Amino acid sequence: MKLDRVLVPVDGSDCAKRALSCAVELVRNTGGGRILLMHCHRPFPKLLGEPYLQEAIDRIQESAEGVVAPHRRLLDGSGIEFTEFILEGAPWDMITRAAEIERCDLIVMGSRGCTDFQGLILGSVTHRVLHSAPCPVLVVR
């Protein structure tokens, strides 16, 4: 089985880091392919005027870049081709849309993200992706 396109959404959590490492090994062991590294940020504020709107956009983009950068470094050293996406919107929706549009063979994601809900067994984003993804989903703890 060859995995041509593996989507890996990241949010800065330890689970996301483990998911990316797992995806790298899967792609490497199945004969190559491409990893689609993805991060979703919250929507830009719509009610702010200038210069506050641009300041808010800059902060959100800087934060998103900070989340993606360590994952990019891991992929740069892996020898695996990758493309990265930073998207605005609800993570579960953007993940499932991207997987459909990019015709992904697999989504590899962490079981829990960066939330304060310690009692949940499975993160709400992961749960929603599991129920709406157009392809198989591998959940990494």
138: nearest Cα among 60, 25, 48, 42 = 25
36: nearest Cα among 87, 104, 129, 125 = 104
Tokens representing 46 are 């719509």
pLDDT at 50: 80
pLDDT at 72: 96
pLDDT at 121: 46
CATH code of the domain made up of 5-140: 3.40.50.620
Cα of 33 vs its chain's centroid, Å: 17
pLDDT at 38: 97
Which regions of the chain are under pLDDT 50? Answer: 116-121
Which residues of the chain form beta strands (DSSP E)?
A: 5-9, 34-41, 81-88, 106-110, 137-140
Q: Which residues pair with 35 in a beta bridge?
A: 6, 82
